[in-house]
Amino acid sequence: MIILLKKINLFENFTDSELEKIRQVCDGIYFKTGEVIFKEGDVGDKCYMILKGEVRISKHVPNIGEEALTVMKEGEYFGEMALIDNYPRSAHAIANTDASLITLKKEDLQNIFITDRELGFKFLWAFTKTLSRRLRDMNDKMTTFLAMAGGF
């Protein structure tokens, strides 16, 4: 399973011994195309890492329907905000194709923070880098959207 964890971009700077600790608390799960992984507003208690397949992250827009925000692919992860805050899920996650995922529970991550501060720091740093990248992507999308809309 360590070989599989190495394929997840969250763990790109983790050692084999750190990945072994993580492997011990991760679970595998499978979703068929179209299956809902979680819904916006659900209580979040785990994050998901994609080993195979694709997951669509979307929101329901009144009078329009489902609006896809992004499609996550192999090696990416989602739902990590649930590990950090106590807010409900901010979007839907739906299997865009058949998908094999690994989950990491909030409780297990909190135990890592307590028992292995260095490993906990690596998690927080990886989450921070992901958040920064996603904010930059959103800024670029908003700039493009505003330019197409003629600005305000």
pLDDT digits (tens, 9 = 90+) for 58-96: 998 888 888 888 999 999 999 998 888 888 999 999 999
* Dihedral (CA of 9, 81, 25, 19) sign: positive
Tokens 């669509």 belong to residue? 56
pLDDT score for 131? 84
Nearest Cα neighbor of 104 from 90, 83, 88 is 83
pLDDT score for 39? 95
pLDDT score for 45? 93
Rounded to whole angstroms, how far apart are CA atoms 39 and 124?
25
- CATH code for 2-148? 2.60.120.10
Q: From residue 108, how far is each of 80, 112, 113, 124, 136 by CA, in Å?
A: 13, 6, 9, 14, 29
Could you tell me the pLDDT band of residue 26, with boundaries at 50, 70 and 90? very high
pLDDT score for 102? 96
Could you tell me the pLDDT band of residue 152, with boundaries at 50, 70 and 90? low
Q: Which two tokens stand for residue 134?
A: 């996603």
Q: What's the pTM?
A: 0.86
pLDDT digits (tens, 9 = 90+) for 80-139: 988 888 889 999 999 999 999 999 999 999 999 999 999 999 999 998 888 888 788 878
